[in-house]
Structure 1
Protein backbone atom coordinates (compact mmCIF):
# COMPACT_ATOMS: atom_id res chain seq x y z
CA UNK A 1 0.00 0.00 0.00
CA UNK A 2 1.16 3.56 -0.76
CA UNK A 3 1.50 6.00 2.16
CA UNK A 4 -0.32 9.20 1.10
CA UNK A 5 -0.41 10.83 4.55
CA UNK A 6 1.73 13.73 3.41
CA UNK A 7 -0.83 14.57 0.71
CA UNK A 8 -3.23 15.71 3.39
CA UNK A 9 -0.87 18.20 4.99
CA UNK A 10 0.11 21.72 3.98
CA UNK A 11 3.72 22.71 4.57
CA UNK A 12 4.92 26.30 4.53
CA UNK A 13 8.51 27.06 3.59
CA UNK A 14 10.23 30.44 3.86
CA UNK A 15 10.85 31.81 0.37
CA UNK A 16 11.41 35.53 0.89
CA UNK A 17 12.63 37.88 3.60
CA UNK A 18 12.45 41.65 3.82
CA UNK A 19 14.76 43.80 5.88
CA UNK A 20 13.89 47.44 6.51
CA UNK A 21 16.73 49.92 7.02
CA UNK A 22 16.13 53.41 8.34
CA UNK A 23 18.62 56.20 8.85
CA UNK A 24 18.63 58.51 11.83
CA UNK A 25 19.00 61.69 9.79
CA UNK A 26 16.59 64.56 9.45
CA UNK A 27 14.92 63.02 6.38
CA UNK A 28 14.27 59.74 8.21
CA UNK A 29 14.56 57.74 4.96
CA UNK A 30 13.77 54.03 4.68
CA UNK A 31 15.37 51.39 2.43
CA UNK A 32 13.96 47.87 1.92
CA UNK A 33 16.20 44.95 1.00
CA UNK A 34 14.77 41.76 -0.50
CA UNK A 35 16.37 38.36 0.29
CA UNK A 36 15.73 34.99 -1.30
CA UNK A 37 15.72 32.02 1.07
CA UNK A 38 17.75 28.85 0.62
CA UNK A 39 17.60 26.09 3.24
CA UNK A 40 16.10 28.59 5.65
CA UNK A 41 18.91 31.12 5.15
CA UNK A 42 18.63 34.57 3.52
CA UNK A 43 20.73 34.87 0.32
CA UNK A 44 20.99 37.13 -2.73
CA UNK A 45 20.16 40.50 -1.15
CA UNK A 46 18.81 43.10 -3.59
CA UNK A 47 16.56 46.18 -3.46
CA UNK A 48 12.82 45.48 -3.30
CA UNK A 49 11.50 45.91 -6.83
CA UNK A 50 8.37 47.85 -7.71
CA UNK A 51 6.71 44.67 -8.95
CA UNK A 52 7.48 42.80 -5.73
CA UNK A 53 6.18 45.75 -3.70
CA UNK A 54 2.89 45.63 -5.63
CA UNK A 55 2.51 41.90 -4.94
CA UNK A 56 3.17 42.54 -1.25
CA UNK A 57 0.56 45.34 -1.14
CA UNK A 58 -2.01 43.06 -2.78
CA UNK A 59 -1.32 40.27 -0.27
CA UNK A 60 -1.72 42.66 2.66
CA UNK A 61 -4.83 44.39 1.35
CA UNK A 62 -7.82 44.26 3.73
CA UNK A 63 -11.35 44.05 2.34
CA UNK A 64 -13.07 46.78 4.37
CA UNK A 65 -16.49 45.51 3.29
CA UNK A 66 -15.89 42.41 5.41
CA UNK A 67 -15.08 44.34 8.57
CA UNK A 68 -17.85 44.52 11.15
CA UNK A 69 -20.40 42.80 8.93
CA UNK A 70 -23.77 42.58 10.62
CA UNK A 71 -24.47 39.22 12.23
CA UNK A 72 -27.15 37.85 14.48
CA UNK A 73 -26.57 37.11 18.16
CA UNK A 74 -27.83 33.56 17.97
CA UNK A 75 -31.45 33.09 16.87
CA UNK A 76 -32.92 36.08 15.02
CA UNK A 77 -35.35 38.17 17.03
CA UNK A 78 -38.99 37.86 16.00
CA UNK A 79 -39.25 41.54 15.13
CA UNK A 80 -36.46 41.45 12.51
CA UNK A 81 -38.03 41.75 9.05
CA UNK A 82 -34.98 41.89 6.78
CA UNK A 83 -31.25 42.56 6.89
CA UNK A 84 -28.28 42.81 4.53
CA UNK A 85 -24.97 41.98 6.19
CA UNK A 86 -22.83 43.56 3.44
CA UNK A 87 -24.71 46.85 3.57
CA UNK A 88 -24.89 46.70 7.38
CA UNK A 89 -28.59 47.46 6.98
CA UNK A 90 -31.63 46.13 8.82
CA UNK A 91 -35.42 46.51 8.91
CA UNK A 92 -37.40 45.71 12.05
CA UNK A 93 -40.67 46.63 13.71
CA UNK A 94 -41.77 47.49 17.23
CA UNK A 95 -45.23 47.22 18.73
CA UNK A 96 -47.12 50.05 20.37
CA UNK A 97 -45.33 50.97 23.58
CA UNK A 98 -45.05 53.57 26.30
CA UNK A 99 -41.98 55.75 25.73
CA UNK A 100 -40.37 58.80 27.30
CA UNK A 101 -40.49 61.61 24.73
CA UNK A 102 -38.50 64.84 24.73
CA UNK A 103 -39.71 68.09 23.16
CA UNK A 104 -37.84 71.34 22.65
CA UNK A 105 -39.16 74.45 24.39
CA UNK A 106 -40.19 75.98 21.07
CA UNK A 107 -42.96 73.43 20.57
CA UNK A 108 -44.61 74.21 23.88
CA UNK A 109 -45.13 70.51 24.64
CA UNK A 110 -43.89 69.25 27.99
CA UNK A 111 -41.65 66.21 27.90
CA UNK A 112 -43.10 63.05 29.36
CA UNK A 113 -44.30 59.52 28.70
CA UNK A 114 -46.80 58.66 25.97
CA UNK A 115 -47.93 55.65 23.98
CA UNK A 116 -46.46 55.54 20.49
CA UNK A 117 -47.88 53.51 17.58
CA UNK A 118 -46.32 50.37 16.09
CA UNK A 119 -43.29 51.38 14.02
CA UNK A 120 -41.17 50.04 11.16
CA UNK A 121 -37.49 50.98 11.37
CA UNK A 122 -35.01 50.88 8.48
CA UNK A 123 -31.40 51.67 9.33
CA UNK A 124 -27.79 51.22 8.38
CA UNK A 125 -24.80 52.54 10.30
CA UNK A 126 -25.27 56.08 9.00
CA UNK A 127 -28.98 56.76 8.59
CA UNK A 128 -32.45 55.95 9.88
CA UNK A 129 -35.95 55.86 8.38
CA UNK A 130 -39.14 55.30 10.38
CA UNK A 131 -42.70 54.51 9.33
CA UNK A 132 -45.83 53.71 11.35
CA UNK A 133 -48.22 50.76 11.26
CA UNK A 134 -51.92 50.72 11.99
CA UNK A 135 -51.77 47.36 13.80
CA UNK A 136 -49.60 45.56 16.33
CA UNK A 137 -49.61 42.46 14.13
CA UNK A 138 -46.32 41.55 12.47
CA UNK A 139 -46.41 43.27 9.07
CA UNK A 140 -46.51 41.34 5.81
CA UNK A 141 -45.17 42.32 2.41
CA UNK A 142 -48.51 43.95 1.61
CA UNK A 143 -48.82 45.92 4.85
CA UNK A 144 -49.40 49.65 4.35
CA UNK A 145 -46.77 51.99 5.69
CA UNK A 146 -47.92 55.22 7.33
CA UNK A 147 -46.01 58.38 8.08
CA UNK A 148 -44.35 58.19 11.49
CA UNK A 149 -46.32 60.73 13.62
CA UNK A 150 -43.30 62.55 15.01
CA UNK A 151 -41.43 65.78 14.48
CA UNK A 152 -37.95 65.82 12.87
CA UNK A 153 -38.91 63.29 10.17
CA UNK A 154 -38.97 64.02 6.43
CA UNK A 155 -41.78 62.86 4.16
CA UNK A 156 -39.70 59.91 2.92
CA UNK A 157 -39.30 58.67 6.50
CA UNK A 158 -35.71 59.87 6.92
CA UNK A 159 -34.96 61.05 10.44
CA UNK A 160 -33.08 64.27 11.11
CA UNK A 161 -31.00 63.57 14.21
CA UNK A 162 -29.85 67.18 14.54
CA UNK A 163 -26.91 67.51 16.91
CA UNK A 164 -27.20 63.98 18.31
CA UNK A 165 -23.79 62.26 18.18
CA UNK A 166 -24.25 58.98 16.30
CA UNK A 167 -21.71 56.21 16.78
CA UNK A 168 -22.75 52.88 15.25
CA UNK A 169 -19.67 52.19 13.12
CA UNK A 170 -18.05 49.68 15.48
CA UNK A 171 -21.00 47.37 16.03
CA UNK A 172 -21.49 44.20 14.02
CA UNK A 173 -24.45 42.99 16.08
CA UNK A 174 -28.00 43.19 14.75
CA UNK A 175 -29.44 43.46 18.23
CA UNK A 176 -27.01 46.18 19.26
CA UNK A 177 -27.58 48.24 16.10
CA UNK A 178 -31.35 48.11 16.60
CA UNK A 179 -31.02 49.12 20.24
CA UNK A 180 -28.64 51.97 19.46
CA UNK A 181 -30.96 53.53 16.88
CA UNK A 182 -34.04 53.22 19.09
CA UNK A 183 -32.19 54.86 21.96
CA UNK A 184 -30.80 57.62 19.75
CA UNK A 185 -34.25 58.38 18.38
CA UNK A 186 -36.23 58.41 21.61
CA UNK A 187 -33.53 60.22 23.57
CA UNK A 188 -33.30 63.07 21.06
CA UNK A 189 -35.41 66.24 21.28
CA UNK A 190 -38.31 66.70 18.86
CA UNK A 191 -38.20 70.27 17.64
CA UNK A 192 -40.05 70.96 14.38
CA UNK A 193 -41.84 69.59 11.33
CA UNK A 194 -39.55 68.97 8.37
CA UNK A 195 -40.21 70.95 5.16
CA UNK A 196 -43.79 71.69 6.30
CA UNK A 197 -44.59 67.96 6.23
CA UNK A 198 -47.45 67.27 8.67
CA UNK A 199 -47.32 63.51 9.36
CA UNK A 200 -50.76 63.18 10.98
CA UNK A 201 -54.40 63.82 10.16
CA UNK A 202 -54.74 66.85 12.41
CA UNK A 203 -52.50 69.08 14.50
CA UNK A 204 -49.32 67.26 15.52
CA UNK A 205 -48.68 69.53 18.52
CA UNK A 206 -52.19 69.11 19.92
CA UNK A 207 -51.99 65.36 19.36
CA UNK A 208 -48.93 64.90 21.55
CA UNK A 209 -50.17 67.38 24.14
CA UNK A 210 -53.24 65.16 24.54
CA UNK A 211 -51.15 61.99 24.96
CA UNK A 212 -48.30 63.04 27.23
CA UNK A 213 -48.53 61.60 30.75
CA UNK A 214 -51.81 59.79 30.07
CA UNK A 215 -52.76 56.15 29.60
CA UNK A 216 -54.35 56.85 26.23
CA UNK A 217 -53.42 54.54 23.37
CA UNK A 218 -52.15 56.24 20.25
CA UNK A 219 -55.13 57.02 17.97
CA UNK A 220 -54.16 55.12 14.81
CA UNK A 221 -57.01 56.77 12.92
CA UNK A 222 -54.81 59.89 12.85
CA UNK A 223 -52.11 58.09 10.87
CA UNK A 224 -51.75 58.97 7.18
CA UNK A 225 -50.87 56.28 4.64
CA UNK A 226 -47.80 56.73 2.48
CA UNK A 227 -47.74 55.39 -1.08
CA UNK A 228 -45.52 52.52 0.08
CA UNK A 229 -46.05 49.03 1.38
CA UNK A 230 -43.48 47.05 3.34
CA UNK A 231 -42.31 45.23 0.19
CA UNK A 232 -41.27 48.59 -1.30
CA UNK A 233 -38.58 49.24 1.31
CA UNK A 234 -37.18 45.74 1.84
CA UNK A 235 -33.41 45.35 1.47
Structure 2
Protein backbone atom coordinates (compact mmCIF):
# COMPACT_ATOMS: atom_id res chain seq x y z
CA UNK A 1 0.00 0.00 0.00
CA UNK A 2 1.33 3.44 -0.94
CA UNK A 3 0.71 6.38 1.37
CA UNK A 4 -0.56 9.22 -0.84
CA UNK A 5 -1.94 11.39 1.96
CA UNK A 6 0.48 14.19 1.17
CA UNK A 7 -0.96 14.57 -2.33
CA UNK A 8 -4.41 15.48 -1.00
CA UNK A 9 -3.61 18.98 0.23
CA UNK A 10 -1.01 21.61 0.91
CA UNK A 11 0.32 21.64 4.45
CA UNK A 12 1.53 24.82 6.11
CA UNK A 13 4.42 24.75 8.55
CA UNK A 14 5.48 27.61 10.83
CA UNK A 15 8.63 29.38 9.62
CA UNK A 16 8.80 32.36 11.93
CA UNK A 17 7.06 34.04 14.85
CA UNK A 18 6.73 37.63 15.99
CA UNK A 19 6.34 38.85 19.55
CA UNK A 20 5.20 42.42 20.11
CA UNK A 21 6.25 44.29 23.24
CA UNK A 22 4.65 47.58 24.22
CA UNK A 23 5.71 50.09 26.83
CA UNK A 24 3.06 50.85 29.48
CA UNK A 25 4.59 54.14 30.59
CA UNK A 26 2.38 56.14 28.20
CA UNK A 27 4.89 56.59 25.38
CA UNK A 28 3.24 53.81 23.36
CA UNK A 29 6.61 52.54 22.15
CA UNK A 30 6.52 49.12 20.44
CA UNK A 31 9.32 46.61 20.07
CA UNK A 32 9.02 43.58 17.79
CA UNK A 33 11.08 40.48 18.32
CA UNK A 34 11.56 37.98 15.50
CA UNK A 35 11.94 34.23 16.08
CA UNK A 36 12.99 31.59 13.61
CA UNK A 37 11.11 28.30 13.91
CA UNK A 38 12.74 24.89 14.07
CA UNK A 39 10.43 21.87 14.23
CA UNK A 40 7.73 24.11 15.64
CA UNK A 41 10.00 25.57 18.32
CA UNK A 42 10.88 29.32 18.28
CA UNK A 43 14.65 29.91 18.23
CA UNK A 44 17.15 32.68 17.56
CA UNK A 45 15.20 35.68 18.95
CA UNK A 46 16.32 39.05 17.62
CA UNK A 47 14.85 42.47 16.80
CA UNK A 48 12.79 42.51 13.61
CA UNK A 49 15.08 43.72 10.82
CA UNK A 50 14.10 45.96 7.90
CA UNK A 51 14.45 43.12 5.38
CA UNK A 52 12.36 40.78 7.52
CA UNK A 53 9.71 43.48 7.80
CA UNK A 54 9.64 43.89 4.02
CA UNK A 55 9.26 40.14 3.52
CA UNK A 56 6.38 40.12 6.00
CA UNK A 57 4.66 43.05 4.27
CA UNK A 58 4.99 41.31 0.88
CA UNK A 59 3.54 38.08 2.26
CA UNK A 60 0.54 39.93 3.69
CA UNK A 61 -0.07 42.06 0.60
CA UNK A 62 -3.53 41.61 -0.92
CA UNK A 63 -4.10 42.10 -4.62
CA UNK A 64 -6.94 44.62 -4.72
CA UNK A 65 -8.04 43.33 -8.12
CA UNK A 66 -8.81 39.96 -6.55
CA UNK A 67 -11.08 41.46 -3.89
CA UNK A 68 -13.88 41.95 -6.40
CA UNK A 69 -13.56 38.85 -8.54
CA UNK A 70 -16.69 37.63 -10.24
CA UNK A 71 -18.02 34.43 -8.71
CA UNK A 72 -20.93 32.05 -9.04
CA UNK A 73 -23.65 31.99 -6.39
CA UNK A 74 -23.72 28.20 -6.49
CA UNK A 75 -24.67 25.86 -9.32
CA UNK A 76 -23.94 27.66 -12.59
CA UNK A 77 -27.07 28.58 -14.55
CA UNK A 78 -27.69 26.53 -17.66
CA UNK A 79 -27.79 29.64 -19.86
CA UNK A 80 -24.27 30.72 -18.86
CA UNK A 81 -21.88 29.93 -21.72
CA UNK A 82 -18.58 31.33 -20.44
CA UNK A 83 -17.14 33.61 -17.78
CA UNK A 84 -13.76 34.92 -16.69
CA UNK A 85 -13.63 35.81 -13.00
CA UNK A 86 -10.61 38.11 -13.28
CA UNK A 87 -11.80 40.24 -16.19
CA UNK A 88 -15.48 39.96 -15.13
CA UNK A 89 -16.42 39.05 -18.71
CA UNK A 90 -19.39 36.75 -19.14
CA UNK A 91 -21.22 35.23 -22.11
CA UNK A 92 -24.76 33.89 -21.78
CA UNK A 93 -27.87 33.34 -23.85
CA UNK A 94 -31.60 33.85 -23.35
CA UNK A 95 -34.49 32.12 -25.08
CA UNK A 96 -37.17 33.80 -27.15
CA UNK A 97 -39.73 35.44 -24.88
CA UNK A 98 -42.20 38.26 -24.48
CA UNK A 99 -40.65 41.37 -22.92
CA UNK A 100 -41.78 44.87 -22.10
CA UNK A 101 -40.08 47.27 -24.53
CA UNK A 102 -39.76 51.05 -24.31
CA UNK A 103 -39.37 53.32 -27.33
CA UNK A 104 -38.53 57.00 -27.59
CA UNK A 105 -41.56 58.97 -28.79
CA UNK A 106 -39.53 60.25 -31.77
CA UNK A 107 -39.66 56.75 -33.28
CA UNK A 108 -43.45 56.79 -33.32
CA UNK A 109 -43.61 53.29 -31.78
CA UNK A 110 -45.73 52.90 -28.67
CA UNK A 111 -44.10 51.08 -25.77
CA UNK A 112 -45.53 47.71 -24.85
CA UNK A 113 -44.97 43.97 -24.70
CA UNK A 114 -43.50 42.20 -27.71
CA UNK A 115 -41.98 38.84 -28.54
CA UNK A 116 -38.17 38.99 -28.75
CA UNK A 117 -35.77 36.51 -30.37
CA UNK A 118 -33.21 34.33 -28.57
CA UNK A 119 -30.12 36.35 -27.72
CA UNK A 120 -26.45 36.00 -26.87
CA UNK A 121 -25.05 38.53 -24.40
CA UNK A 122 -21.38 39.47 -23.87
CA UNK A 123 -20.64 41.80 -20.96
CA UNK A 124 -18.21 42.94 -18.34
CA UNK A 125 -18.76 45.57 -15.64
CA UNK A 126 -18.69 48.44 -18.14
CA UNK A 127 -19.73 47.29 -21.61
CA UNK A 128 -22.38 45.15 -23.26
CA UNK A 129 -22.69 43.46 -26.65
CA UNK A 130 -25.73 41.57 -27.91
CA UNK A 131 -26.46 39.25 -30.80
CA UNK A 132 -29.52 37.29 -31.87
CA UNK A 133 -30.03 33.56 -32.48
CA UNK A 134 -32.37 31.85 -34.90
CA UNK A 135 -33.59 29.25 -32.37
CA UNK A 136 -33.96 28.93 -28.60
CA UNK A 137 -31.80 25.82 -28.45
CA UNK A 138 -28.65 26.22 -26.39
CA UNK A 139 -25.99 27.37 -28.88
CA UNK A 140 -22.88 25.37 -29.69
CA UNK A 141 -19.51 26.77 -30.71
CA UNK A 142 -20.58 26.56 -34.37
CA UNK A 143 -23.92 28.33 -33.91
CA UNK A 144 -24.12 31.39 -36.21
CA UNK A 145 -24.83 34.78 -34.67
CA UNK A 146 -27.27 37.33 -36.05
CA UNK A 147 -27.52 41.07 -35.62
CA UNK A 148 -29.57 41.96 -32.56
CA UNK A 149 -32.75 43.46 -34.12
CA UNK A 150 -32.88 46.52 -31.87
CA UNK A 151 -32.22 50.21 -31.97
CA UNK A 152 -29.18 51.60 -30.10
CA UNK A 153 -26.99 48.65 -31.18
CA UNK A 154 -23.90 49.03 -33.38
CA UNK A 155 -23.04 46.63 -36.19
CA UNK A 156 -20.43 44.89 -33.96
CA UNK A 157 -23.09 44.24 -31.31
CA UNK A 158 -21.97 47.01 -28.94
CA UNK A 159 -24.86 48.65 -27.12
CA UNK A 160 -25.16 52.40 -26.66
CA UNK A 161 -26.73 52.87 -23.22
CA UNK A 162 -27.07 56.63 -23.66
CA UNK A 163 -27.67 58.38 -20.34
CA UNK A 164 -28.51 55.19 -18.44
CA UNK A 165 -26.64 55.14 -15.13
CA UNK A 166 -24.76 51.84 -15.17
CA UNK A 167 -23.86 50.59 -11.70
CA UNK A 168 -22.24 47.15 -11.86
CA UNK A 169 -18.83 47.92 -10.35
CA UNK A 170 -19.53 46.35 -6.96
CA UNK A 171 -21.34 43.33 -8.41
CA UNK A 172 -19.51 40.14 -7.48
CA UNK A 173 -22.14 37.64 -8.58
CA UNK A 174 -22.32 36.20 -12.10
CA UNK A 175 -26.09 35.76 -11.85
CA UNK A 176 -26.60 39.30 -10.57
CA UNK A 177 -24.46 40.82 -13.31
CA UNK A 178 -26.42 38.94 -15.97
CA UNK A 179 -29.75 40.15 -14.56
CA UNK A 180 -28.51 43.71 -14.20
CA UNK A 181 -27.46 43.95 -17.85
CA UNK A 182 -30.71 42.43 -19.10
CA UNK A 183 -32.67 44.92 -17.00
CA UNK A 184 -30.54 47.84 -18.17
CA UNK A 185 -30.97 46.85 -21.80
CA UNK A 186 -34.72 46.24 -21.81
CA UNK A 187 -35.70 48.94 -19.32
CA UNK A 188 -33.97 51.72 -21.26
CA UNK A 189 -35.61 53.55 -24.16
CA UNK A 190 -34.74 52.44 -27.69
CA UNK A 191 -34.29 55.65 -29.64
CA UNK A 192 -32.38 55.40 -32.94
CA UNK A 193 -30.37 53.27 -35.35
CA UNK A 194 -26.60 53.49 -34.93
CA UNK A 195 -24.51 54.89 -37.81
CA UNK A 196 -27.19 54.00 -40.38
CA UNK A 197 -26.93 50.34 -39.35
CA UNK A 198 -30.20 48.59 -40.10
CA UNK A 199 -30.16 45.40 -37.99
CA UNK A 200 -33.02 43.62 -39.81
CA UNK A 201 -34.15 42.72 -43.29
CA UNK A 202 -36.72 45.42 -43.91
CA UNK A 203 -37.98 48.34 -41.87
CA UNK A 204 -37.05 48.10 -38.20
CA UNK A 205 -39.66 50.63 -37.09
CA UNK A 206 -42.51 48.87 -38.90
CA UNK A 207 -41.38 45.49 -37.59
CA UNK A 208 -41.63 46.56 -33.94
CA UNK A 209 -44.86 48.45 -34.58
CA UNK A 210 -46.37 45.19 -35.86
CA UNK A 211 -45.07 43.19 -32.90
CA UNK A 212 -46.10 45.44 -30.01
CA UNK A 213 -49.10 44.09 -28.11
CA UNK A 214 -50.30 41.74 -30.87
CA UNK A 215 -48.97 38.46 -29.42
CA UNK A 216 -47.17 37.42 -32.61
CA UNK A 217 -43.86 35.58 -32.47
CA UNK A 218 -40.75 37.39 -33.63
CA UNK A 219 -40.17 36.90 -37.38
CA UNK A 220 -36.76 35.21 -37.38
CA UNK A 221 -36.71 35.43 -41.19
CA UNK A 222 -35.97 39.13 -40.73
CA UNK A 223 -32.75 38.48 -38.81
CA UNK A 224 -29.48 39.37 -40.53
CA UNK A 225 -26.70 36.80 -40.17
CA UNK A 226 -23.26 38.08 -39.18
CA UNK A 227 -19.92 36.57 -40.11
CA UNK A 228 -19.42 35.39 -36.52
CA UNK A 229 -20.16 32.12 -34.80
CA UNK A 230 -20.40 31.63 -31.06
CA UNK A 231 -16.83 30.35 -30.94
CA UNK A 232 -15.61 33.75 -32.18
CA UNK A 233 -16.88 35.56 -29.08
CA UNK A 234 -16.30 33.00 -26.34
CA UNK A 235 -13.73 34.05 -23.73
TM normalised by structure 1 equals 0.80
Q: 1:36 aligns with which of 10, 33, 37?
A: 33
- Residues in 1 aligned to 2:156 and 2:203: alpha-carbon distance in whole angstroms: 20
Q: 2:18 aligns with which of 15, 25, 30?
A: 15
| Matched residue, 1:161 | 161
1:77 aligns with 2:74: no
| Matched residue, 1:152 | 152
Partners of 1:17 and 1:37 within 8 A in 2:
no
Q: Structure 2 vs 1, CA of residues 18 and 153 (structure 1 numbering), >3 Å: closer, same or farther?
A: farther
- Residues in 1 aligned to 2:200 and 2:12: alpha-carbon distance in whole angstroms: 67
Q: Structure 2 vs 1, CA of residues 169 and 9 (structure 1 numbering), >3 Å: closer, same or farther?
A: closer
| Matched residue, 1:99 | 99
1:36 match: secondary structure: strand
- Residues in 2 aligned to 1:180 and 1:9: alpha-carbon distance in whole angstroms: 41
| Matched residue, 1:108 | 108
| Matched residue, 1:180 | 180
2:68 match: secondary structure: coil
For structure 2, the residue ranges without an aligned partner over 5 or more in a row are 1-10, 23-28, 36-41
Partners of 1:98 and 1:114 within 8 A in 2:
yes
For residue 35 of structure 1, report the CA deviation from its aligned partner.
4.0
| Matched residue, 1:26 | none
What is the root-mean-square deviation of aligned Cα atoms in Å? 2.8
| Matched residue, 1:25 | none
| Matched residue, 2:213 | 213
| Matched residue, 2:25 | none
- Residues in 2 aligned to 1:76 and 1:109: alpha-carbon distance in whole angstroms: 38
For residue 92 of structure 1, report the CA deviation from its aligned partner.
0.7
2:176 match: secondary structure: helix
Q: Structure 2 vs 1, CA of residues 14 and 114 (structure 1 numbering), >3 Å: closer, same or farther?
A: same
Partners of 1:98 and 1:113 within 8 A in 2:
yes
Which range is displaced more, 68-77 or 204-213?
Answer: 68-77
Q: Structure 2 vs 1, CA of residues 191 and 119 (structure 1 numbering), >3 Å: closer, same or farther?
A: same
Count of aligned residue pairs for this structure pair: 213
| Matched residue, 2:4 | none
For residue 83 of structure 1, report the CA deviation from its aligned partner.
1.3
- Residues in 2 aligned to 1:149 and 1:114: alpha-carbon distance in whole angstroms: 13
1:197 match: secondary structure: coil
For residue 68 of structure 1, report the CA deviation from its aligned partner.
2.4
CA deviation map 1:153-173 (0-9, x unaligned): 111101111111111122221
- Residues in 2 aligned to 1:44 and 1:135: alpha-carbon distance in whole angstroms: 71
TM normalised by structure 2 equals 0.80
- Residues in 1 aligned to 2:16 and 2:194: alpha-carbon distance in whole angstroms: 64
| Matched residue, 1:28 | none
